[in-house]
Amino acid sequence: MIFGKPIWIRQVLVPGYTDSEEDLLKLKEFISSLKTVQKVEVLPYHDLGKFKWENLGLRYPLSDVKSATTEDFERAKKILGI
């Protein structure tokens, strides 16, 4: 196990999957248990890569998921305390 290494946390905010208050509070609790977190980033989900799947003739698995809004993003940051 590595101790004392600086780490960054990056959480993708996917509406309906990773944006519930309960999940974000659990994430906040987990992050607070870590001693060397230097940075926490919230990455709002978007579907900009959907066309790549379609061009390959594949079904995009998140086609029914809406992109995260600015309000979703700000809410998550507030809950996480960042």
- In percent, how much of the chain has pLDDT > 70? 98
* Mean pLDDT within 6-23: 96
In this prediction, residue 4 carries a pLDDT of: 85
Q: Are 8 and 41 in contact (CB under 8 A)?
A: yes
pLDDT of 2 strictly over 70? no
* Mean pLDDT within 46-68: 93
Q: Are 5 and 36 in contact (CB under 8 A)?
A: yes
pLDDT of 1 strictly over 60? no
- In percent, how much of the chain has pLDDT > 90? 89
Residue 45: pLDDT band with limits 50, 70, 90: very high
